[in-house]
A and B are shown apart, each in its own frame.
Chain A
Amino acid sequence: AQTVTQSQPEMSVQEAETVTLSCTYDTSESDYYLFWYKQPPSRQMILVIRQEAYKQQNATENRFSVNFQKAAKSFSLKISDSQLGDAAMYFCAYRSSGDTDKLIFGTGTRLQVFP
């Protein structure tokens, strides 16, 4: 069974600085999808970025980018020029490309942004 591990329960960053959130996963599959979701205090789950495992190029969405290391099964999220609105819980998630399409989430990293 696939697992997702986020080893940083909490992280903090100063406004305008860069922070990296870590995520590792375990799978025997070669094709799959990885996601980062943001959960602000409102508790809604908002997709930040996604990565297809068959793509070598790291995904980027404005200030958010990932470092996808397939061999190491690592999928970290880099937030550049951090803003106060980035403060939230961040969840890494895995989805198989096979028979199941459920999302498997990590335990989350709470990001605090200080002015």
Chain B
Amino acid sequence: EPEVTQTPSHQVTQMGQEVILRCVPISNHLYFYWYRQILGQKVEFLVSFYNNEISEKSEIFDDQFSVERPDGSNFTLKIRSTKLEDSAMYFCASRPGRWGHTEAFFGQGTRLTVV
């Protein structure tokens, strides 16, 4: 069964460093998302991406964040200068189409620890 794959599973980085979280969405999917979950809290939407453009972003997704689909298969989330409060689980998700009842398929997540 096709699945969304995220790498790495766990990333530890020093405050102020740049990190890139990687995702390989399901191959025929067109809509891509990043969500994050701070430990013990709810899952929060960060950004949605379609046709090589951001289609929506949340207040959390400030100038420190960027997304890219560099090669038609990977979907990346970059945090330019990490802060302690960026420590969280980051989930990538994809959907085949935008409308209708097609659900989002989530990856297994990347745990980011900023020290």
Contact = CB atoms under 8 A, between A and B. Distances in A.
B106 A45 contact: yes
Interface stretch (A18-26, A62-70, A79-87, A98-106): A98-106
Contact of A91 (B43, B45, B108): B43
Interface string B29-42: 00101010100011
- Give the contact-size bracket for chain A: 20 to 34
Contact of B101 (A37, A44, A52, A107): A52
A45 B43 contact: yes
A105 B43 contact: yes
Interface string A46-68: 11001010000000000000000
A45 B33 contact: no
B42 A101 contact: no
